[in-house]
């Protein structure tokens, strides 16, 4: 009983909604394209969309679009094959296509030809009933030979040949005439000039269990009834001679030993789909169930498998449901869900016929230069075909048509955004974007310029080679212009805080300054000791002069001396006016003291270091300053003094502007957005100020940060690459009494040699507060605070090159989103730099007094030394000399005694 109900259900189902899924686009071949026309059928809208000259450009005349309503709404179109311009049409006025269909109410297979008149879009149908009522073939293939004279239809039950122009069935055969195996279910077809290739599943019965060989025709029946018989299927490719159609020569195209599940072979299952494409004598067959593509060669009357390629993308459920030749050596394979793209869930991979591996595609479609607009709602590519001219037509799962003409050298066919209510979307050949080139005609994107070359893309013609740069370094991959490293340099306001010199004692400075003579002319000139020696030398000269006058008895001179001695005695501060020699030495002391005071006065003014612009000409060491420094890290959480707090407030209040300069890029301002990332995946969009300079290929975005600790994300959409990034942080300075917030201006340039910045870059910037505390020279004055933020730019990983090396260079073109994240953080410590004078005025005065008295004491000590040691030794000698002199002139002595009395 239950089985009975089940069969009733089967019959009911087959007649009504199960059999005819009007919305399904992927099943059957309801699209066909050649260089003359592109036809798709929509059973849901009972409508053929016909494009005449679909790949013609605007200058050659726009494509012509016609909507052709089915001749009856009872039609369910199964497959289409375009013929193109009809042979007898004058002025290319008439176009023709063939389709196979079923009348749904009676399940009657048909084949029809449709002639479309170009100027009026009028269509005329000529249909032939194939005369097998009630038979619903799972696959109902149709193809037209390259001579465009005949159409060929294949099902698992019958095969026919139709003379297109005579609209007459020339051959009407059953399966047994054509296929060598007991039964055969054709899945895919392609037709050349005199031969065709049909791929499908052929089967034989195999007794697994049971006693009798069962001759039951319907496999499902066996399967349902006992479950003990299984059929051994094989995937075969059959070569068909189009003149006869009979006795196809079939070869197994897989060597699989596993059993295929019969129900899946007989009824439709997407996994069991096959696809065939012929180019010259080469045949390409896609087997999605095994993730394989097989290339066969047509030799005489047989097909030989030349290559089998196995692909396995982890995430892909289907590889090769549709395949085609892009040119004589390039194959195109439809792959589902290979990886996420923003444009579609399936991609077409283009490979060299000899090298089909996961990493080896030349390119994929869609890609970042050839997107599918958001209007298409991220579709699945239902089917595509590439014409002999190399143009591509495509339908999506939403029944939209995509027309992608072959783009010549230097051009790429790109999406043309439109707001029109249309279901046909044209790609237009446009010049390669900046930083890319294309050296051959293809359906694919332009390739990026290798390092050391560039393409500014400013001219109106496409280029096949990038021009070379003056140096390799200034042109990384994908360059538009040469990077000018002067305009893109990093710079920083950070300077090392000065360190205190060894001597921090004013006495050291005084002594060093006074008692040191350096060989440098400048040092000699300002050396107090030198001038003291000069004075001492003058005194010595004077003494010698006196001695000479004594020797030569110059009376008037001696009288002069007498007076001078009195004066000198009065100036003597060493021996309290006792010795006229002391008076002479006093001059030297005065010179020393004068220089010392000059030094002191000049020295004390050399504070703080920020106000010193001239070299210290008064000292031998011209960098001499009256400042000592100490520096250290302090924890931010430690409470600040009332005096220090305002500088922290100023620092925390400063507004940062982040400028992101994208160097060597083609990104336009309109494709850049900036956001502030919040917790989890939330974000807010930030306003930004963007400028682009096309000549130097720099786009710069300035953002005012809403707060200091945040993460900013810059999103760039488009096919462009970035050669380098410069991040600049700027902020305005402010002065508030003794508190100065310094202007912030840091820039950091990021680049990796010969490579581009990766699609996702993360740059952390850690800020450190840097506070300079300058104590006043005069203790009455307030301490001066100045603060600046110091960013630390970390080394980051910038390039995706390793990823592309590992997983395939084509991945470069599969994403159009470039993300730069900049995270701002603050260090928990701050730098505290303290500057204080080495000496303040009162201390200096005191030290100067001490120093003066020291000088006097030193001279006094010298005199004492003279008195106690030198004179006792010299006196006897002098005495003896005197006696000799006395003998020679008594009067001299008298004069001397006279003058001393005075
Ligand atoms: C348009 O197509 C014709 C031939 O198909 C070609 O010669 C011409 O350069 C094309 N024009 C443009 C603008 O691409
Ligand atoms: C072309 O030939 C077909 C069939 O031979 C005929 O039906 C059609 O009218 C012809 N068209 C023209 C324009 O001669
Ligand atoms: C083809 O042959 C079958 C019988 O083999 C017949 O039923 C059918 O009507 C024929 N179709 C045409 C179009 O001649
Ligand atoms: C193709 O058509 C031409 C004439 O248009 C004819 O001479 C030739 O034999 C045809 N080829 C085939 C395979 O039918
Ligand atoms: C092609 O295959 C057939 C048999 O399948 C074989 O006889 C023939 O030598 C093969 N040809 C080449 C070129 O391999
Ligand atoms: C691109 O689309 C716009 C409509 O959005 C249309 O005006 C324009 O002609 C199209 N470009 C070409 C080359 O067809
Ligand atoms: C780089 O820029 C600077 C300043 O704008 C300019 O003087 C210099 O000539 C430029 N260098 C090159 C190689 O363009
Ligand atoms: C920061 O950016 C804002 C807005 O773009 C601007 O008004 C301001 O002058 C900038 N500040 C600095 C220091 O560049």
- pLDDT band, very low/low/confident/very high, at 890 (cuts 50, 70, 90): low
pLDDT at 863: 81
Count of other CB atoms within 10 angstroms of residue 169: 17
Residue 487, both tokens:
């305009």
781: nearest Cα among 813, 822, 824, 738? 738
* Sign of the CA dihedral with 635 first, then 637, 641, and 645 last: positive
Give, using CA atoms, the residue closest to atom 9 of ligand 3. Answer: 131
pLDDT at 204: 65
pLDDT at 222: 39
Give, using CA atoms, the residue closest to atom 7 of ligand 4. Answer: 147
- pTM for the predicted model, two decimal places: 0.83
C-alpha–C-alpha distance, residues 877 and 503, integer Å: 48
Residue 698: pLDDT over 60: yes
pLDDT at 889: 54
pLDDT at 578: 75
C-alpha–C-alpha distance, residues 412 and 370, integer Å: 8
pLDDT at 213: 36
Our answer on whether the CB atom of 486 is closer than 6 Å to any ligand 7 atom is yes
- pLDDT band, very low/low/confident/very high, at 794 (cuts 50, 70, 90): confident
Q: Is the peptide bond before 608 cis (omega within 30 degrees of 0)?
A: yes
Q: How far apart are the first and last CA of the chain?
A: 165
Residue 205: pLDDT over 80: no
Quote the ligand 7 centre to 486 CA distance (angstroms): 6
Q: Give, to the nearest 10 degrees, the angle between helix 890-901 and helix 871-888.
A: 120
Our answer on whether the CB atom of 504 is closer than 6 Å to any ligand 4 atom is no
Mean pLDDT of the chain: 87
360: nearest Cα among 337, 383, 331? 331
Candidate from 654, 655, 657 with most ligand 8 atoms within 8 A of CB, to mutate: 657
Ligand closest in space to the Cα of 165: 2
In a 3-state reduction of DSSP, which class is residue 738? coil
744 CA: nearest ligand 8 atom: 13
pLDDT in tens, 837-879: 999 999 999 999 998 888 888 888 888 888 888 878 888 887 8
- pLDDT band, very low/low/confident/very high, at 831 (cuts 50, 70, 90): very high
pLDDT at 217: 36
Residue 732, both tokens:
């305005």
Give, using CA atoms, the residue closest to atom 6 of ligand 2. Answer: 165
Using an 8 Å Cβ cutoff, are 134 and 105 in contact? no
pLDDT in tens, 113-144: 999 999 999 999 999 999 888 888 889 999 99
Lowest-confidence segment of 74-83, 736-745, 776-785, 887-896 by average pLDDT: 887-896
Map out the domains of the chain as residue ranges. 311-468, 506-624+840-864, 630-836
H-helix or E-strand containing 829? Answer: strand 829-837
- Please give the C-alpha separations between residue 534 and each of 412, 539, 581, 857, in angstroms, as whole numbers: 89, 9, 16, 20
User: What is the per-residue burial (b if ≥16 Cβ within 10 Å, else e) of 708-740?
Assistant: bebbbbbbbbbbbbbbbbbbbbebeeeeeebbb
169 CA: nearest ligand 3 atom: 13
Residue 76: pLDDT over 60: yes
Residue 178, both tokens:
């054509």
657 CA: nearest ligand 8 atom: 1
Residue 211: pLDDT over 60: no
150: nearest Cα among 166, 173, 137, 134? 166
- pLDDT band, very low/low/confident/very high, at 411 (cuts 50, 70, 90): very high
Our answer on whether the CB atom of 388 is closer than 6 Å to any ligand 8 atom is no
Quote the ligand 2 centre to 35 CA distance (angstroms): 22
Ligand closest in space to the Cα of 60: 1
Ligand closest in space to the Cα of 690: 8
* Sign of the CA dihedral with 848 first, then 853, 854, and 855 last: positive
Using an 8 Å Cβ cutoff, are 418 and 408 in contact? no
Question: In degrees rounded to 5, what are phi and psi of residue 588?
Answer: -60, -40
Give, using CA atoms, the residue closest to atom 8 of ligand 5. Answer: 304
pLDDT at 220: 38
Count CA atoms within 13 Å of residue 405 on its CB side.
21
């Amino acid at each position: 009983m239950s089985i009975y109900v089940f069969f009733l259900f089967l019959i009911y189902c087959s007649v009504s909604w199960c059999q005819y899924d009007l919305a399904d686009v992927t099943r059957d071949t309801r699209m066909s394209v050649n260089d003359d026309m592109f036809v798709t059928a929509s059973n849901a809208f009972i409508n053929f969309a016909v494009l005449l000259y679909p790949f013609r450009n605007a200058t050659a005349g726009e494509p012509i679009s016609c909507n052709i309503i089915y001749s009856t709404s009872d039609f369910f179109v199964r497959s289409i094959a375009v013929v193109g311009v009809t042979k007898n049409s004058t002025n290319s006025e008439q176009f023709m296509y063939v389709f196979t269909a079923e009348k749904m109410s009676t399940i009657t297979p048909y084949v029809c030809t449709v002639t479309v008149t170009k100027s009026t879009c009028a269509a005329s149908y000529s249909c032939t009933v194939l005369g097998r009522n009630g038979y619903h073939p799972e696959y109902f293939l149709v193809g037209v030979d390259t001579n465009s004279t005949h159409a060929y239809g294949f099902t698992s039950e019958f095969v026919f040949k139709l003379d297109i122009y005579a609209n007459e069935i020339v051959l009407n055969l059953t399966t047994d005439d054509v296929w060598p195996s007991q039964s055969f279910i054709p899945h895919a077809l392609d037709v050349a000039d005199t031969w065709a290739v049909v791929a499908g599943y052929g089967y034989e019965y195999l007794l697994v269990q049971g006693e009798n060989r069962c001759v039951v025709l319907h496999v499902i029946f066996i399967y349902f009834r006992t479950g003990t018989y299984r059929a051994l299927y094989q995937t075969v490719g059959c070569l068909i001679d189009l003149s006869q159609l009979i006795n196809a020569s079939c070869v197994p195209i897989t060597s699989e030993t596993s059993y295929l599940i019969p129900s899946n072979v007989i009824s439709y299952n997407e996994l069991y789909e096959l696809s065939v494409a012929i180019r010259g004598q080469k045949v390409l067959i896609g087997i999605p169930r095994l993730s394989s593509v097989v290339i066969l060669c047509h030799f005489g009357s047989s097909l030989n498998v030349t290559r089998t390629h196995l692909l396995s993308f982890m995430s892909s459920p289907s590889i090769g449901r549709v395949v085609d030749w892009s040119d004589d050596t390039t194959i195109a394979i439809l792959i589902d869900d290979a990886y996420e793209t923003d444009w579609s869930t399936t991609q077409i991979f283009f490979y060299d016929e000899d090298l089909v591996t996961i990493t080896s595609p030349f390119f994929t479609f869609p890609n970042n230069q050839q997107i599918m607009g958001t209007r298409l709602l991220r579709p699945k590519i239902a089917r595509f075909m590439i014409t002999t001219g190399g143009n591509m037509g495509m339908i999506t799962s939403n029944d939209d048509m995509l027309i992608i003409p072959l783009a010549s050298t230097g051009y790429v066919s790109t999406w043309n955004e439109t707001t029109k209510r249309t279901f046909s979307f044209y790609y237009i050949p446009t010049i390669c974007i900046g930083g890319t080139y294309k050296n051959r005609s293809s359906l694919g994107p332009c390739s990026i310029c290798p390092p050391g070359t560039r393409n500014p893309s400013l001219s109106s013609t496409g280029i096949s080679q990038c021009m070379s740069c003056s140096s390799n370094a200034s042109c990384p991959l994908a360059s538009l212009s040469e990077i000018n490293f002067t305009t893109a340099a990093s710079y920083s306001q950070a300077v090392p805080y000065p360190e205190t010199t060894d001597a921090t004692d004013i006495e050291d400075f005084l002594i060093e300054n006074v008692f040191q003579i350096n060989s440098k002319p400048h040092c000699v000139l300002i050396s107090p000791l030198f001038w003291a020696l000069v004075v001492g030398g003058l005194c010595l000269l004077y003494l010698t002069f006196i001695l000479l006058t004594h020797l030569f008895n110059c009376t008037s001179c001696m009288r002069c001396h007498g007076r001078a001695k009195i004066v000198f005695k009065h100036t003597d501060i060493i021996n309290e006016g006792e010795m006229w020699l002391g008076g002479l030495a006093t001059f030297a002391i005065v010179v020393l003291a004068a220089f010392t005071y000059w030094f002191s006065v000049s020295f004390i003014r050399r504070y703080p270091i920020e106000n010193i612009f001239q070299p210290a000409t008064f000292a031998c060491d011209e960098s001499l300053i009256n400042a000592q420094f100490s520096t250290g890290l302090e924890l931010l959480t430690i409470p600040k003094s009332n005096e220090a707090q305002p500088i922290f407030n100023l620092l925390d209040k400063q507004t940062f502007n982040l400028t992101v300069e994208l160097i060597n890029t083609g990104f336009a301002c309109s494709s850049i957005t900036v956001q502030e990332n919040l917790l989890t995946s939330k974000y807010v969009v930030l306003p930004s100020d963007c400028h682009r300079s096309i000549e130097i290929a720099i786009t710069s975005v300035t953002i005012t940060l809403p707060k200091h600790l945040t993460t900013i994300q810059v999103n760039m959409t488009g096919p462009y690459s970035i050669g380098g990034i410069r991040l600049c942080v700027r902020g305005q300075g402010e002065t508030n009494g003794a508190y100065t917030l310094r202007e912030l201006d840091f820039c950091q340039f990021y680049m990796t040699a010969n490579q581009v910045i990766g699609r996702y870059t993360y740059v952390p910037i850690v800020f450190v507060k840097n506070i300079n505390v300058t104590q006043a020279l005069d203790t009455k004055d307030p301490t001066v605070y100045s603060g600046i933020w110091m960013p630390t730019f970390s080394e980051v990983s910038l390039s995706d090159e390793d990823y592309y090396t590992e997983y395939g260079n084509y991945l470069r073109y599969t994403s159009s989103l470039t993300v730069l994240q900049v995270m701002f953080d603050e260090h928990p410590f701050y730098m505290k730099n303290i500057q204080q004078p080495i000496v303040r005025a009162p201390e200096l005065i005191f030290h100067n007094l001490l120093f003066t008295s020291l000088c006097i004491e030193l001279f006094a000590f010298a005199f004492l030394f003279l008195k106690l040691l030198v004179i006792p030794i010299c006196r006897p000698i002098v005495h003896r000399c005197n006696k000799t002199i006395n003998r020679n002139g008594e009067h001299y002595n008298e004069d001397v005694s006279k003058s001393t009395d005075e």
